[in-house]
């Protein structure tokens, strides 16, 4: 059964690297690229919940903190695992991030480590 992963990041290069890297790794993964927080919420409101969300924190408009908060407050979405993928590595952000998400991964990230973390969550 195909797994759906949302990549929510305003950087198209990051989205591309993850999309290509994950689809080469496992053809049962469908990557949906989303460029900002508002479009992520719109996607969730109009589609079946994804199996995982890879979420940048620092985005214009609705940032990753806001997206994660909306997801965790909605009973239709609160079960979706969230991985923060971010360059925001101050101790406060990392500590708080580990509370609201399933994995806190700093950029630049190792694609193989990301794949392993995704495999752990998706089985």
CATH for the stretch 3-118: 3.40.50.2300
Tell me what pLDDT residue 94 has: 67
Tell me what pLDDT residue 86 has: 83
Tell me what pLDDT residue 1 has: 82
Q: List the chain domain ranges.
A: 3-118
Tell me what pLDDT residue 55 has: 96
Tell me what pLDDT residue 10 has: 97
Tell me what pLDDT residue 96 has: 66
The residue ranges of the chain whose pLDDT is under 50 are none
Residues 44/77, Cβ–Cβ less than 8 Å: yes
Full-model pTM: 0.92
Q: What are phi and psi of 95, to 5 degrees?
A: -65, -50
Tell me what pLDDT residue 97 has: 66
Residue 14, C-beta contacts closer than 8 angstroms, at least 6 positions apart: 7, 56, 85, 107
């Amino acid at each position: 059964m195909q797994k759906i992963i949302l990549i929510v990041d305003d950087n198209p290069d990051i989205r591309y690297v993850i999309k290509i890297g994950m689809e080469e790794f496992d053809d049962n993964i469908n990557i949906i690229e989303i460029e900002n927080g508002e479009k992520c919420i719109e996607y969730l409101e109009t589609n079946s919940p994804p199996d995982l969300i890879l979420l940048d924190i620092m985005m214009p408009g609705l940032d990753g903190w806001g997206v994660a908060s909306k997801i965790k407050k909605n009973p239709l979405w609160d079960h979706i695992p969230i991985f923060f993928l971010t360059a925001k590595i101050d101790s406060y952000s990392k500590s708080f991030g580990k509370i609201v998400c399933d994995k806190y991964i700093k950029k630049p990230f190792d694609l193989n480590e990301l794949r392993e973390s995704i495999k752990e969550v998706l089985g």
